[in-house]
Structure 1
């Protein structure tokens, strides 16, 4: 009887250990859309600030920030949807609206003045919000955030990114490119 009970306890302990270890490895690797999103044209979102120039129209040339709703307030034409737009698409949208009774042939150019930030959390020296720079990798972001702590897993990181309006989290190598608006999480190593 004691042998059967200890056999059941051993089986229960093995099952618990298996589930615990399975939980340690049950993560979703970064989907292919992570890499694809990093090589696509930049898409605007809340927090991006851009310099919009209208040729020979100094009253319209200024810096504009995409608000929380995804719009910019542009003189004469009002609210213009910017979230998810590429720079050329937004240039065309503003020019098209300016043609509707304001300017005959507007020449609109846009350049990013300030990208939305990246967020670095977990086992780093100074977790927080940091300025994004084109070409930034997760390793660069960790370095800006004070580097790894002594408990950090330095092999891979978790990245949370908005792709096509959907928020996705995946595990990636430390050298993975990051995008403006990404959240990078450095986990604690097990041993």
Structure 2
């Protein structure tokens, strides 16, 4: 009887450990967005150059509503758009009564920040640099705390207006605006 009881206890503990891991496989869109053109959002800083128009050419930040405010033409929608989309929108608005044939260029001057929380030495908000992985983000935040789980992280990412969270290996790339959570290890 004690052998059967031990087997039941071991099976129960194994089921408990598996259920506690809380693994959430990331949706397909989670990694698919990494190969798609970058979509702008609040906090991105854009460098706008209109050839021959120094009063308009400047740096603009995408505001909370997802717009940039350009002299002469006012608000231009940027959230969810690529830099090429914003170039076309600005050129169209300028062509409508301000500049005959505008030559517009928009590029990202600074990406919106990423956030890191949990078991790192210095959690917080950090500037995004192209090519970051979760591992380099942890290094920027001072490294893992003594209790930090070092094999995978939880990343929360906004994709097409939806907030998705997935558990990924520490070597996975991150995107501007991502929130990285470092879990506590069990042992």
If the length of structure 2 is used for normalisation, what is the TM-score? 0.91
1:178 is aligned to 2:174:
yes
SS in 2 for 1:45: coil
- Matched ranges for 1:23-172 at <5 A: 23-172=19-168
**Gaps in structure 2 of 5+ consecutive residues:** none
Q: How large is the RMSD of aligned CA atoms in angstroms?
A: 1.9
Aligned residue pairs total 183
C-alpha deviation, 1:39, in angstroms = 1.5
Deviation at 1:14, TM superposition (A): 7.8
Alpha-carbon separation, structure 2, partners of 1:22 and 1:154: 18
Q: Cα deviations across residues 107-127 of structure 1 (Å, max 9, x unaligned)? A: 110111111000011110100
Larger of the two Rg values belongs to structure: 1
Q: Take 1:137 and 1:155, find their aligned partners in 2: how far apart are those partners?
A: 13
For residues 135 and 35 of structure 1, what CA distance do their matches in structure 2 show? 14
Q: Matches of 1:26 and 1:139 in 2, distance apart?
A: 21
Q: TM-score, normalised by structure 1?
A: 0.89
Q: SS in structure 2 opposite 1:59?
A: coil
How much does 1:18 deviate?
6.2
Query: Could you list the runs of 5+ residues in structure 1 that have no partner in the other structure?
Result: none
Secondary structure of 2:129 counterpart: coil
Q: Write the distance in 1 (CA, Å) between the matches of 2:13 and 2:76.
A: 55
Secondary structure at 2:94 match in 1: helix
Structure 1: which 4+ aligned runs deviate by more than 4 Å? 13-19
